[in-house]
Every structure is written in structure tokens, then in C-alpha cells.
Homo-oligomer: A and B are copies of this chain.
Amino acid sequence: MLYLIGLGLADEKDITVKGLEIVKRAERVYLEAYTAILLIEKNQLEAFYGRPVIIADRELVETGSDDILADADKVDVAFLVVGDPFSATTHADLVIRARELSIPTQSIPNASILTSIGTTGLQLYNFGQTVSMVFFLPSWRPASFYDRIKENVSIGLHTLVLLDIKVKEQSLENLARGRKIYEPPRFMTVAQCADQMLEVEEEKAEGVYGKESLAVGVARVGSSDQSIAVGTLEQLKSADLGKPLHSLILLGKRVHDLEREFLKPFAIDVASFESIWKRDYNH
């Protein structure tokens, strides 16, 4: 059996009891480590499980999946995914490949960033589609997120923006020369996301959002060290939410007073939060 096991968001104890039992008895344990990270190191996981953990990078999952699946028709293989195995990143391709090999699969769900942002008090019923924000390069500034946010905004819905992480990336030079030297990992901050969003709005000028649009920055959701900051995109451009992982929520106009009340203690500046909410939201 191939088990896809969600690890939740923060540390080794966010795995479910059921997931942990499977990890302890599985023949091999893989950790998908390129689309999200826990806030702890691999050796802490191994110490907690009492088991070695094999890092599954993008290369192994996308081109070496048969190694992961080897013998999984006879023995149990655990494939660990930060968050939930089918949420922010879907591992549907791995399951389809397992099916082709007649390997049964089971998924053990867990908390995902897609729902854990409920901790901001924002109603998940009022979220539209989720978008991703990648690190802009001088010559590559993909703005497809803008049209999707526009769709959400047009019907008053909140938008969760998931922020890029770069793990085990090669520089163009090292890539060209075939040198397996990797850059230090990078994680987009709420401030960088707000900045890129405003840059694209300035360029497209469709008024989907602006400097005074309210947004919620979150960091390390699900950990005891979780941080929330509410402000305008302009204010968030200089907000420091500390260590990764960060996400950003652009508020839709379809808001409730309960949401305002819940968010208020997290406002960067309470006066502007209240006045902009009153002026632009909940009409």
C-alpha cells in the first residue's frame, strides 16, 4: 500500500495518530520536500519517528516515482507531505502511477494552509479560488494571478495568495554547466508579495485592488509562534512577519462585522483599518 500522509503545518507533532502509526510500521518513509516545508529539520522528524526519512525532491517524485513505488504492492510505503497530501500541491499524478502498477493507495488527510487560515477569523465560505505568487525575475513577471484575483474581487470574495518557495534551485550558470550546486533556500515574504501585487496593478491599471486595499498577512500558521498582521497592501509592503512560511489574503468586499472584530487586534494601524473598512467594505 502507498500511503500519502499529511504532516500538517508546523512541527513533528502535527501528524495524526493514524499517520504516525503507519510511519512507524512502513518499509520506507519519504518526505516530499520541495513544495512546502515544516518549521523543523528532517533530523527532528527522524528522531520523533525513530526511523530514517528519505528526502523526495522534485526530481525523484517527477521522474523517479517508480523508485518510490517499488514493491508497494507487497509492502507499505509512506509518502509524507507537508500540510495535506491533496491540497496546496496535489499528488494525484503519483496516485495515478500507483494505480497503473496495481498498487493500492490511501491518503491520510491533515491540516492545510488552505483551511488553517481560518485562524484569522475570515469565513472560509467567502474565499474564491486560491492563487500562487512566484518570485519575479527581471525578465519574468508572470501576472496570471491578477486575472484570477479579478474574478474573485468581482464577486466580493477573499483571495488566498500562496507564496513561492525556492528549495534546491540551481543558478542558471550552475544549471548550464551541469553542476549540482544549489542556491540557499528562499521563501517569499508577505512584504514581497504585497510589493509584487502593487507593481502588477500599477502596470495593468484595471483597479482590481490598490494601495489601500486591505489584506491579511500570516506567518507560521498552526504553530505557537503564529503571526497575523492586517493592513493595507501599502502598509504590508513594509511589514516584517519574521521567519517563513508566509501567506497573504486579499480581503473581498463581502465581509462581516464578526470578521472585522476578529481581525482588529492584528491591525498594523487600527485607525486606518477601521476607516478603510467602513469606507470600502461591507456595502
Contacts and interface: CB of A to CB of B under 8 A. Distances in A.
Interface in A119-144: 119, 121, 123-132
Contact of A92 (B21, B258, B265): B258
Contact of A96 (B8, B129, B262): B262
B6 A17 contact: no
A93 B16 CA distance: 27
Interface residues of A, number: 58
B129 A128 contact: yes
Contact of A109 (B21, B108, B116, B128): B116
Interface string A55-95: 00000000000000000000000000000111110101101
| Secondary structure type dominating chain A contacts | mixed
A62 B46 CA distance: 43
Interface in A227-283: 258-259, 261-262, 265
Contact of A114 (B96, B99, B124, B132): B124
Contacts of A93: 258
Given A96-B261, A109-B9, A84 B116 contact: yes
Nearest to A131: B125
A157 interface: yes
For the complex formed by this chain, how many copies does it contain in all? 2
A129 B84 CA distance: 20
B119 A130 contact: no
A108 B111 CA distance: 9
Contact of A87 (B15, B86, B124, B157): B124
30 contacts: A8-B110, A12-B17, A13-B16, A16-B110, A16-B111, A17-B17, A17-B20, A84-B111, A84-B115, A86-B118, A87-B124, A92-B258, A95-B121, A95-B262, A96-B258, A96-B261, A96-B262, A107-B119, A109-B119, A109-B221, A110-B110, A110-B111, A112-B112, A112-B115, A114-B124, A124-B130, A125-B131, A128-B129, A128-B157, A129-B157
